[in-house]
Structure 1
Amino acid sequence: MPGFREVFRVGEFRALFTAYFVSVAGDQYARVALTVLVYARTASAGLSALTYALSFLPDLIGGPLLSGLADRFPRRTVMIVTDLARAAVLVLMAIPAMPLWLTCTLLVVVQLAGAPGNAARAALLPHVLPGEQYPVGQAAMNAVNQVAQVAGFASGGALVAFTGAHAVILADAATFLASALLVARFVAARPAPEAATQRTWPLLDGARLVWTQPRLRALVAMACVSGFYIAGEALAAPYAVELGHGPIAVGLMFAAYAAGTAAGMLVLARFPDSARLRAMPALVVASCAPLTLCALNPGLAVTLLLFTLTGAASSYHLVTATTFVATVPDDQRGQAFGLAVTALRVSQGLGIALAGVAADRVPVHTVVAAAGALGVLAACGTAWLWRLSDQPSGRTTRSTP
């Protein structure tokens, strides 16, 4: 099996990797900034969490309706155009006099524009890194996602405290501009998949593919468990206040999740594919279990440790992502990926919104603990689905790029 050194010798992958890192870090800056901005203006845990949820819920529309663009048009072009569009909208969001409702509306636009770009990157990667290089490269991309979140969340809280939320949002716009330039300069142009351009109903075809394959359904269900364990992130701002801390603690809470996931993925990537698949169901359960201890109302240090453990177990997304993309035919990868992300983001958005509403009525630590307990139950259900899909009648054949 190839190692990380081998995949980083591929120039196109280095460009995709770097572009992804800077844009993800910028996104985390913006998430921290918006969460703190809304809570500062409204003093409402519910509105703060609902604003954070807005960065996920637009995938309900963007995932199914826009991700298919990554199959119908050249994927490099889709990535460049969507990055430039997001940069332009974020510049508008950075205007200090912007009403809060309009800022939230523009946040929805940013997320909608990201759906086809993210699908294009996911569908393009198996072409940049064919064969056994792909899982290794995907592991690196997933790990850098978490490292970028650590950098963005940890420094985002401090940046908001010292420079203000609007300046941080403007920095996010600059990261998308840099991402577009890197892809335009270093990623080769490729035509759109021929079969995809001939599909009349790509959304229906993609939905049929995912729904009729038990293995794909089980993988999507496992990914959706994140809608439970994300409650701690969603309530970071009011949780920090409950613990007697400020914006820097908010960034540290976000960073704890991401740091744990990055470490978990680096460890998980060292195991063969068969071992990762065997460990995946247990990791799904373990991603929620630590949050149940928040019921004891520990201090900041212990809470950060619990968030880190949750993040480490959530590294199972490395396995779900690579298995899902490798199973789907190339001409449907963008659409199928968009549908999977839709399910993931909607589950996260709903979980965040419900946690926020609950946190306006009961202590934040109690809400996080309850989300963890419910998540353990849901994770056990997805493990059962995976076991059923692994029976001979539920197996699917992996496609090739």
Structure 2
Amino acid sequence: MTGERHGTAGYREVFALRAFRALFTAHVVSVVGDQLARVALVVLVYDRTGSAALSALAYALTFLPALVGGPLLAGLADRYPRRTVMITADLVRAAVVAAMAWPGLPWQAVCALLVVVQLAGAPAVPARSALLPALIPDSAVMRTGIAALSTVTQLGQVLGFAVGGVLVAALGPGGALLLDAATFGVSALLVAAFVPPVAVTGPHALGWWERVRAGAGVVWHDRRLLVLVGYAALSGTYIVGEALAAPYAAHLGGGPAVVGVLFAAYSAGCAAASLAVAALPESVQLRLMPLLAVGTGVPLLGCLADPPLPVVVGLFALSGAASGYHVVAQPTFVLRTPDAHRGQAVGFAITAMQTAQGIGITLGGLAAERTAPHLVTGAAGGVGVVAALVLAARWRAVQRRA
């Protein structure tokens, strides 16, 4: 089979694979459950403390442990069968989230258990990414599968946040957390029942620290992988618009509904573009990737002119659409890394992306304390354009050497 296959055929072929259907369904369930849990956690902490700052801290804890767990725990996906790693991570998270729902549990204990949940999940995504090439040997079809997973991640986040408030109101925070625990159980069951075990190639005698160093070395000594990590980290620039959605909505004279529209605009653009990009031949995707990366920042430059809400929504949607370059960069990175160190390498890439996003969100928030949000968003877009142009030059250079 050829890598120049068009994505339309790829979607039929990838969803014809029972193992991929199981991974896809498990991912959908987990993403929606995760967003539901975030809403429940914020409500629970706020109800028990009455502190907006502590509830915001609890929300931040849903992201921070992955910065440590990514590089330190991703190697488990290379040392043990990846299917086993995914199932174990889901079962541990199901048990811990269920414990978080225990009535009367101090909120400090809930936050501590949340850190355990996030650390337990750190090797799960690298394990899934590393497993895909073995389950889908055709690279073009695998790219299509990753596009489908990326799209459902965006849609699942929107759906989870939208439904989360309703379910938390109906079930209470404890009931919502139990529902999230059930989603992890369903995910583990689907993987156990329908995803075949695949042996990990390469040396298994490496110790934990040796494996971390080997995975880091794979990325550090491959210039193409370094550029792809740079493309992952680029998200730290255009995410600033999302991070400032609340003050930006207030600047535009809107309330919570406008905040939701701004979030949805980015996610909708990203989801639609991811499907469209994956429908192109692989060679076209690789040529488009640098252009799309530059395109994530260009629309945000329009925010400098302080346009009205409909225009801002359109600019956010265009920026989100350009971020569809991730469905090219991610499978290219996965296919480029040796199977023996693939999980660890993916963990480093995820950590780089999340670190960049955290820095972008923090700097954007600090800047918005002194400057209008539309100016901060536009400036972030400018930084993104410059960074993307540098990455494009580096990408062309490594491609020429190949």
What TM-score does the superposition give when structure 1 sets the normalisation length? 0.86
SS in 2 for 1:233: helix
Q: Structure 1 residues 102 and 242 mapped into 2: Cα distance closer, same or farther (>3 Å)?
A: farther
Q: Which amino acid aligns with 2:160?
A: G
- Contact 2:239–2:361 (CA<8 Å) still a contact in 1? yes
Q: Which amino acid aligns with 1:172?
A: D
Shift of 1:247: 4.3
RMSD across aligned positions (CA): 2.9
Q: Structure 1 residues 176 and 307 mapped into 2: Cα distance closer, same or farther (>3 Å)?
A: farther
Instruction: Pick one of 128, 145, 155 that aligns with 1:147.
Output: 155
Instruction: Pick one of 297, 309, 322 that aligns with 1:313.
Output: 322
Tell me the distance in 2 between the aligned counterparts of 1:24 and 1:214.
Answer: 32
Shift of 1:163: 6.4
Aligned residues: 390
- Contact 1:203–1:335 (CA<8 Å) still a contact in 2? yes
Instruction: Pick one of 41, 45, 56 that aligns with 2:63.
Output: 56
For residues 54-203 of structure 1, the aligned pairs below 5 Å read 54-94=61-101, 103-132=110-139, 133-156=141-164, 168-191=176-199, 193-200=200-207, 201-203=210-212
Q: Structure 1 residues 51 and 117 mapped into 2: Cα distance closer, same or farther (>3 Å)?
A: same
Deviations 1:212-267 (A, max 9, x none): 11100011101101011112222334444454544444443333222111100111
Deviations 1:134-154 (A, max 9, x none): 222222222222222232244
Deviations 1:327-370 (A, max 9, x none): 11111111111111111111112212222333344333333232
Asked whether 1:302 is paired with 2:316, we answer no
Structure 1: gaps (5+ residues): 396-401
Tell me the distance in 1 between the aligned counterparts of 2:167 and 2:351.
Answer: 31
Provide the residue aligned with 2:36 in structure 1.
Answer: 29
- Identity percentage over the alignment? 53
Tell me the distance in 2 between the aligned counterparts of 1:372 and 1:39.
Answer: 34
Asked whether 1:376 is paired with 2:376, we answer no
Shift of 1:380: 1.6
Q: Which amino acid aligns with 2:91?
A: L
- Contact 1:135–1:322 (CA<8 Å) still a contact in 2? yes
Q: Which amino acid aligns with 1:11?
A: R
Q: Structure 1 residues 233 and 104 mapped into 2: Cα distance closer, same or farther (>3 Å)?
A: farther
Provide the residue aligned with 1:286 in structure 2.
Answer: 295
SS in 2 for 1:230: helix
Instruction: Pick one of 345, 348, 352 that aligns with 1:339.
Output: 348
What TM-score does the superposition give when structure 2 sets the normalisation length? 0.86
Shift of 1:56: 3.4
Deviations 1:280-304 (A, max 9, x none): 1111111122223333444544333
Shift of 1:173: 3.0
- Contact 1:119–1:338 (CA<8 Å) still a contact in 2? yes
Tell me the distance in 1 between the aligned counterparts of 2:294 and 2:180.
Answer: 34
- Contact 2:78–2:344 (CA<8 Å) still a contact in 1? yes
- Contact 2:43–2:55 (CA<8 Å) still a contact in 1? no
Provide the residue aligned with 2:213 in structure 1.
Answer: 204
Structure 2: gaps (5+ residues): none
Provide the residue aligned with 1:261 in structure 2.
Answer: 270
Instruction: Pick one of 200, 214, 222 that aligns with 2:223.
Output: 214
Shift of 1:83: 1.3
Tell me the distance in 2 between the aligned counterparts of 1:249 and 1:39.
Answer: 23
Q: Structure 1 residues 216 and 377 mapped into 2: Cα distance closer, same or farther (>3 Å)?
A: same
Q: Which amino acid aligns with 1:213?
A: D
